[in-house]
Each structure stands twice: as structure tokens, then as C-alpha cells.
Amino acid sequence: MCLSIPSKIIKIDEENNIATVDTMGVQKNASLDLIDEKVEIGDYVLLHIGFAMNKIDEENALESLKIYQQMVNEMEEEEKQRILREENKISVEQVKNV
């Protein structure tokens, strides 16, 4: 299964049919060769292996981005908790060895 994060078009190179997109703060190029509708700067698209595949409306894009950001925040929190548990385990083992 593949998840596609909405990406906002920030630049279009019409000569090469390539858009520069922003995906949650990361900019990259995407081919427009496979998209079947006109896109403009500010539009949101879904990408698959470097190709813009679908244009989506801004409301759905922003809602999806909000959910993805929540997922990232939860993963970051879980990672922080894991690191704290590991650090605590090391501290306890160090005390036992003294």
C-alpha cells in the first residue's frame, strides 16, 4: 500500500513539464507528464514515484496534511518516550553495577 501526501505546487517549468512541489516543508521536483488536468502554482497534487497523478482540492489537501502532521507528532512523541525508557534502563543498570 502506498500513501500519498498532498504536495503544493510552488513552481512550474513548462518547458520540461516539471513542477516543484512542497511536501510538508520538503521541496522536490515532480513530473507533470501523467496528470490529466491543468495545474497551476498553488494547486495541490498527489505524487507517485516522482509523478503528479491527481489534483486535489485545497480543503481535502489541508485536512490530510493536518492528519499527517498529527501522525508525525505522535511518532516523534513515541520515539522520545522510547529513548527516555532506554536511557532510564541504562541508568538503572549502571547503578546496579556499582
Grid coordinates belonging to 6: 498532498
In a domain, 12, yes or no: yes
In a domain, 47, yes or no: yes
CATH of the domain at 33: 2.30.30.140
Asked whether residue 27 carries a pLDDT value surpassing 60, the answer given is yes
Q: What band does 95 get if pLDDT is binned at 50, 70 and 90?
A: very low
Please tell me the total count of domains within the chain: 1
What's the domain range around 24?
7-96
In a domain, 58, yes or no: yes
Burial class (CB in 10 A: 0-12, 13-18, 19+), 39: middle
> pLDDT tens across 42-82, in order?
999 999 889 999 999 999 999 999 998 898 888 888 887 88
In a domain, 73, yes or no: yes
pTM above 0.85, yes or no: no
In a domain, 2, yes or no: no
In a domain, 92, yes or no: yes
